[in-house]
Amino acid sequence: MRNNCCDDSTTSVILFVTFIFWLPVVILFYLLKWLFYFIRWLFSLSNYSDSNENLQLENKKYSINSNFFKKAQILEVNKEKNICTLWINEEKVVWPLNKLTLNNELKVQDCVSIYVKDNNKISRSSNVFIEKILKNSITDFNDEIIKIKYISRIPGERTKIIVASDEQNFNSAREIKRQWNNELKNISDELENEKIEFINWSSETHDFIKNVLFPIRNIYINELKDEIEIKVPSDQLSKAIGKKGINVKILCGLLKTKIKIYD
């Protein structure tokens, strides 16, 4: 009987010692496990913060001048974080992907034209960017044989450019299409098949309006003191206004008055 009691006591002691020994080990294991998860969470948070910091300070990461236009090479594209890395003037520049493309089809090793504005922001959607890319490809603009009067743009869809020349009876829009068709196609391709349309400027208000609204015919124009009314056939009204009001924007921008187009 005594032996049985001793055995029970011994077993209890062994179990107690085992429990006392393994309890800290188990606790330490779970503490290390949770510490690992915590460190990994902090690391991912730090990466996210660094990524945001890169986006906020991207304009300070390169030394190129303002009003700068050239080709940049794509080094890396991260669609999940909406960022890409560009190679410009021997430097890497991190920039939001949606500021460079509308359909996110950019690939590594692609080359894209970029324009750096006065505030050190890269732009591919501004009117100045269109002007720079045209002058870079078409010498008539640099030689001022043909001048750009106004640009109205819906990025990724359509750009309308008002052009003029000092030469009388010179059809600038037709001449550009005739001489520079291949260059214009290359520009359109780079701008994700954006349509580029040239319209002749005229100092005669009625002629200019007809140029902008071409090929719409049977247009009635009434010039008032603070507004120009333009009546068009009802089946041509939406075309006359233009997508997102692009034609109205052109007319308002150059004629410096309110425009009302109705049927």
Among residues 88, 96, 84, the alpha carbon closest in space to that of 70 is found at 88
> What pLDDT is recorded for position 168?
77
The model's pLDDT over 75-84, given as tens digits with 9 standing for 90+, comes to 888 888 788 8
Give the Cα separation of 212 and 198 in Å (integer). 9
Report residue 135 as tokens.
């002058």
> What pLDDT is recorded for position 16?
64
Name the E strands within the chain. Answer: 68-78, 83-88, 91-96, 111-116, 122-123, 147-154, 158-164, 195-200, 220-223, 227-231, 258-262
The model's pLDDT over 185-209, given as tens digits with 9 standing for 90+, comes to 888 887 878 888 899 988 888 988 8
Q: For the chain, how long is the longest CA-to-CA vector?
A: 128
Among residues 136, 160, 135, 133, the alpha carbon closest in space to that of 146 is found at 135
| Spans in the chain with pLDDT lower than 50 | 1-3, 44-66
Terminal-to-terminal C-alpha distance of the chain:
115
> What pLDDT is recorded for position 134?
86
The amino acid at 82 = N
Exposure class string for 29-45: b at 16+ Cβ within 10 A, else e: eeeeeeeeeeeeeeeee
Q: Is 197 helix (H, G, I), strand (E, B) or coil?
A: strand
Give the Cα separation of 137 and 155 in Å (integer). 19
119 DSSP assignment = T
> What pLDDT is recorded for position 104?
58
Q: Kindly report each contact of residues 136-142 with a partner whose C-beta sits within 8 Å and lies 24 or more positions away, as own/partner.
A: 136/69, 137/180, 137/183, 137/186, 137/187, 138/176, 138/180, 138/183, 138/184, 140/175, 140/176, 140/179, 140/180
> What pLDDT is recorded for position 141?
81
